[in-house]
Amino acid sequence: MRQRVAADFAQARADLEELVRIPGCAFPGFPDEQIDRACQKVIDIYRAAGFPQVQRLDIDGGKPAVLAEAPGPPGSPTVLLYAHYDVQPAGDVSLWDSPPFEPSERDGRLYGRGAADDKSGVVIHAAVMRAFEGRPPCTLRVIVEGEEEWGGPFTDHPRSHPDLFAADAIVVADVGNARLGQPAFTTALRGMGAVTVECRTLAGAVHSGMFGGPAPDALMALITLLATMRDADGETVIEGIDGFDWDGADVDEADFRDIAGVDPDQPLIGTGSVASRLFSKPVVNVVGIDAPPTQGAVNAVIPEAKARVSLRVPPGLDAVAARDALIRHLESHAPWGVHVSVTPDVVGQGVRVDTSGPAYAAAREAMLQAYGTPVQEIGAGGSIPLVDSLLAAVPGAEILLFGAQDPLARIHAPNESVDLAELQRAILAEALFIRNLGSGVL
Ligand SMILES: [Zn+2]
C-alpha cells in the first residue's frame, strides 16, 4: 500500500494543482461559474480515480455537491468520506508571496488558496480509491460539498437526507495534525454562541460636568458588566458553563504564541494547560462595541451602549444552554441597578467524539502504520457545524476527523499551503484505515 500510494502521488499532486487553479468561492458576490468549474473538476477527478458512480448533487438554495460511490464486497462496512471543494476568498493578493490561484512549490510545501483547506481532502479520497485499484474492501461513498466556508444550507443536508449519509464510519478530512508527522485525531470541537447586550441609563446624553457623578454612565456600566465575565487571571467565569481539563495532547506554548502572533512580553491569559484553554474551557470575547468614537468625543455622560459577546462552548455542553447561562449572567450582574437587555444570537453545537468503536481501532492502527508513531487526540478551537449535523443524522456512525492540514498551512490566511509529504502520509493513513476496517483484522 505504501508503494502504491508513493507511485501514485504525482497524480494526487496534479489533481491538487488543477483544483487550486480554479478560484471557486461560495461567498456571495463571487461567480457561480467558478464554483461550477470546480464542481465539474471534482467529478472528473473521481471518475478518473475509478468510482463507478459519480454525480453532481444540487443543493436547494446552495452550491452543488459531488457524490461518488464504489461498492465494496457484500457485507463490508460503508465508509463515508467528506471534504469540501470551495475555498475562502484570497483576500489581499499583495500579501501573497506567489499568486493565490497558481500552485507553487517551496520547501516541500505546495502554496495556493485551498491547497490545504480543503482541496487536500478532495484529492486524498481520490488517491485512496486509486490505491485500491477500483476494488475497495469497504463500500465507499464520497461527498464533497461546495459551500463549507460560506456556511450554506448543505450543513442541514444530513438531517434532511439521512439515507445519503448512512455509514458505519465517516471520515471528515477537513482538519490535520498539530505537528507535521505526528498523527492526530481531532476529537473535540468547541461549540459557539453569541449575544448582544445593551445598557440604557438616561433619556439622552448630558454634560459630564453638570451631571456626571450621580447620573449613571451607560458605557461605564457596560464595561463593568463585561468585566464580570473574566476573573483576575483572564479565565472566563460564567455560572453554569464549566469546562474540563484536556487529557489529550497539549499545545506547545511557543508554537501557539508564534502562530497567534502574541507579543513576546505579553503573557497568555487563563489557567491550566494551553490545550485546556483552547479546546475544553469556555471563553467569552467582546467582539464589538457601539459607543461614540474617540475622535470627536465630547464631555458627555453616555446614555446607552451596546456590545456583542462571542462565546466558545466546551465540547459536550449544549450550546443553547450555555448561551442561556451567559444571558442569565449578564442580566444578573448589572452594576448600580442599571437596566440591561440581552438579545440571543446564533449558536453552533460543539462535538465530543466517542473514540471507543471498531473504526477508531482500525484508524489508530492505520495511523501507526502510516506515520510510524502513535496517534494523539487533539481538539479544535473552532467548530465544524456539519459534524454536529452528521452525528444527529447518523447516530450509529463513528466520526473520524483527520487530514493533511497542519498549523503551518495558514488556512484562511495569505500564503496557504499544504506539506506534500504530509499529504502523502494522510493518503496512506486513510487507505490503511479502510483496508484495516474492511479486512476486519481488528
Ligand atoms: Zn475547511
For residue range 25-36, list pLDDT tens digits in order. Answer: 999 999 999 999
386 neighbors 148 (Cβ within 8 angstroms): yes
Nearest Cα neighbor of 237 from 350, 336, 329 is 329
Interval 403-417 mean pLDDT? 94
Interval 388-395 mean pLDDT? 92
Average pLDDT in the chain:
95
What pLDDT is recorded for position 442?
A: 46
Centroid of ligand 1 to alpha carbon of 106 (angstroms): 22
Confidence at 287, pLDDT banded by 50, 70, 90: very high
Where is average pLDDT lowest: 318-327, 383-392, 394-403? 383-392
In CATH terms, the superfamily for domain 2-189+350-439 is Zn peptidases (3.40.630.10)
Centroid of ligand 1 to alpha carbon of 27 (angstroms): 14
What length is written for the chain?
Answer: 442
Higher confidence at residue 80 or residue 349?
Answer: 80
Nearest Cα neighbor of 219 from 232, 234, 208 is 208
Centroid of ligand 1 to alpha carbon of 236 (angstroms): 28
For residue range 89-120, list pLDDT tens digits in order. Answer: 999 999 999 999 999 999 999 999 999 999 99
Centroid of ligand 1 to alpha carbon of 242 (angstroms): 28
- Which of these is catalytic: 8, 15, 17, 86? 86
The C-alpha cell at 412 is: 484562511
Please identify which residue in the block is written with the cell numbers 451607560.
218
Angle at 19 between CA 16 and CA 25, to 5 degrees: 135
Over 80: is that where the pLDDT of 258 sits?
yes
Confidence at 131, pLDDT banded by 50, 70, 90: very high
Centroid of ligand 1 to alpha carbon of 330 (angstroms): 33
Centroid of ligand 1 to alpha carbon of 313 (angstroms): 20
Centroid of ligand 1 to alpha carbon of 114 (angstroms): 8
The C-alpha cell at 43 is: 467529478
What pLDDT is recorded for position 385?
A: 82
Share of the chain above pLDDT 90, in %: 92
The sign one gets for the Cα dihedral 24, 30, 34, 36 is positive
What pLDDT is recorded for position 260?
A: 87
Where is average pLDDT lowest: 76-80, 247-251, 308-312? 247-251
Q: 191-261+271-348 sits in which CATH class?
A: alpha beta
DSSP state of 150: T
Domain residue limits, the chain: 2-189+350-439, 191-261+271-348
Centroid of ligand 1 to alpha carbon of 117 (angstroms): 5
The C-alpha cell at 434 is: 479502510
Nearest Cα neighbor of 326 from 214, 131, 192 is 192
Interval 47-53 mean pLDDT? 98
Confirm whether 86 is a catalytic residue. Answer: yes
Share of the chain above pLDDT 70, in %: 100
What pLDDT is recorded for position 441?
A: 54
- Which of these is catalytic: 147, 148, 388, 422? 148
CA 435/CA 442 separation, integer angstroms: 11
Start-to-end CA span in the chain (Å): 18
Phi then psi for residue 352, to 5 deg, are -125, 120
Over 80: is that where the pLDDT of 381 sits?
no
Give the predicted TM-score (pTM) of the model: 0.88
Interval 214-242 mean pLDDT? 97
